[in-house]
Amino acid sequence: MSLFIDGAPATADDLAHPALVNHGAYTSFRVEHGAARGLDLHLVRLETASVELFGQTVGEDRLRELMRAALGDRRDAWLRVSLFSPEISHRQVAWVGRPRVMIGVFDPPLPLGPRRVMPVAYLREAPHLKHVATMGLIRARRAASQAGFDDALFTDADGRILEGTLWNVGFVKGDEVVWPEGPKLEGVAQALIRRNLAAVGLIQNHAVVRLSDLPTFHHAFLCNSATPAAALTAVGDHVFDPAPEVVARLAAAWSAAPPEKI
């Protein structure tokens, strides 16, 4: 692992503020041969969050420059690009300006296999942002693990399904993919799959999906930038067919997105 802030190796002093103040946003993705699928969407995510949280953008050219500097000679890696500002803290909140950029370079994670997930009633704060306030999702994942599940699936108080802890969720009925409606993070992997579903013979729709609706679907899956598609074999007590052929079609839709050079 390597950490850089604004293009230079991070020091202990640099890391003190992000370690103590969880005001910021990030995105993360796999780099293959110096390129990343959905890079345009990751950049838009960062720039949009930068304006909302700090009042100014970093600039896409600057973000790309910092990513290339962090990668150095590496062609394959996992990048986490975070935005933060030492001028904003629990006691000082008025600052407006360009945030600092912290980039972590890691070995690429292995994709997930089939998952059993536990429904948890939880709405992330500012769910449209991929922000660094992650205590709630970690707490939910721990509760699911302690109950014998692999992960947690977030619902609202009425049982409306929203998203996973670190992933989006979709449901399949025949040749139709249904994306649950509700407050959630619109994931990059989800967006890439949506762009190319027709090419793999699937149609799609958006609808409210409640836990009580699960028996009407044949399959369920998760998707994120680390795992383009993986089957959900159980949501609580409801069991789904893992359908590897459906997962393969979803992964093919993701793969159809051309990698973008950083």
Same domain, 121 and 39: no
Q: For residues 63 and 92, state if they share a domain.
A: yes
State the pLDDT at residue 204.
Answer: 98
- 250 in the same domain as 131: yes
pLDDT at 245: 96
Select from 43, 75, 106 the last residue of a domain: 106
Query: pLDDT 10s digit of each residue in the chain, 262 long?
Result: 999 999 999 999 999 999 999 999 999 999 999 999 999 999 999 999 999 999 999 999 999 999 999 999 999 999 999 999 999 999 999 999 999 999 999 999 999 999 999 999 999 999 999 999 999 999 999 999 999 999 999 999 999 999 999 999 999 999 999 999 999 999 999 999 999 999 999 999 999 999 999 999 999 999 999 999 999 999 999 999 999 999 999 999 999 999 999 9
pLDDT of 46 reads 98
User: Are 159 and 63 in the same domain?
Assistant: no
CB 184 within 8 A of CB 193: no
Q: Are strands 176-180 and 203-207 parallel, antiparallel or unpaired?
A: parallel
- Among residues 106, 131, 164, which one ends one of the domains? 106
Which residues constitute the domain of residue 227?
115-260
| CA–CA separation, 233 and 162 (whole Å) | 18
Check residue 140 and give its pLDDT: 98
Same domain, 38 and 84: yes
153 plus 227 within the same structural domain: yes
Q: Identify whether residues 248 and 121 lie together within a single domain.
A: yes
**Tokens representing residue 10 in the block:** 């991070």
Name the domain count of the chain.
2
- Give the pLDDT of residue 162: 98
Q: Which of 74, 106, 138 is the last residue of a domain?
A: 106
Same domain (yes/no): 95, 129 = no
Contact call for residues 114 and 232 (beta carbons, < 8 A): yes
Residues 95 and 136 in one domain: no
CATH of the domain at 13: 3.30.470.10
pTM of the model as a whole? 0.95
* 180 and 246, same domain (yes or no): yes
What distance in Å separates the CA atoms of residue 18 and residue 13, rounded to the nearest whole number? 10
pLDDT at 199: 95
Locus of tokens 């970690």 = 138
Same domain? For 53 and 163 the reply is no
**174 vs 30, 203, 216, 220, CA distance in Å?**
31, 10, 10, 12
94 and 13 assigned to the same domain: yes
